[in-house]
Structure 1
């Protein structure tokens, strides 16, 4: 099995603290995050954005492989994930990941596409990880 890692450090505490996150691959190293990147509009990243990236990429890859397994060989898939963070008592909770898919798959019936996409949404490892409502809105272009 594969194991991937990321690391984070936070210097200072609470709203005044400054965080940095790095990925094992090195494509992101010491990327700034903190209260202002999570709850305001300061440039940097935040955990929900990283979850959205993971979910969009995982689902899109799962769908690509499912379509190939079903015999399709030509297409383009573009997915956006919007992760919702809501107040939960004294803390917060990720409550939803809304996937929006724009797809072009040569020769597929819309009903078959919807079925395969739904299975990919439920079966992708990040969907299985998230304990939140996961929705899928898709548009299949001819």
Structure 2
């Protein structure tokens, strides 16, 4: 499988504007210096990484539970990408995953164990291996 997306940037770093488009057509939007380094309108690469990581992790956790014969009702994950000035440039320095699961029939320790395995095995986590990834996992059975 090969997945594609594209971006176009027009102009200088501070005054320019860009667009990003997912190959599936599910998203097409703008980004700018302001949306990346300030609080401007539009997305930014780090926000897209956060969305990809949260989605990938949730699916990996569901898959791991499924392999153990456990069917989750709901897995909800947020990812916070820490983007900071490091030396002369900027880097993603840490990603904080926070997940909650409604998973009937298991205890919190079992849920946390599966969540830790998903954090290690999720393809996005593996691709971002140079970045510290933290995890907070909570079982919230209804």
TM-score by length of 1: 0.95
d(CA) in 2 for partners of 1:7, 1:110: 40
5+ residue gaps, structure 2, are none
| Structure 1 residue 127, shift from structure 2 partner | 0.2
Post-superposition offset of 1:50: 0.1
Structure 1 segments of 4+ aligned residues over 4 angstroms from their partners? none
Deviations 1:13-51 (A, max 9, x none): 11001011111001112x110110011112210000000
* Unmatched 5+ stretches in structure 1: none
Q: Which residue in 1 is equivalent to 2:116?
A: 118
- Residue 139 of structure 2: SS of its match in structure 1? strand
Number of residue pairs matched by the alignment? 140
In the alignment, is the contact (CA less than 8 A) between 2:53 and 2:79 conserved in 1? yes
The RMSD of aligned alpha carbons is 0.9
Which residue in the other structure is 2:67 paired with?
Answer: 69
Query: Which of 102, 105, 108 is the equivalent residue of 1:104?
Result: 102
The aligned counterpart of 1:87 is: 85
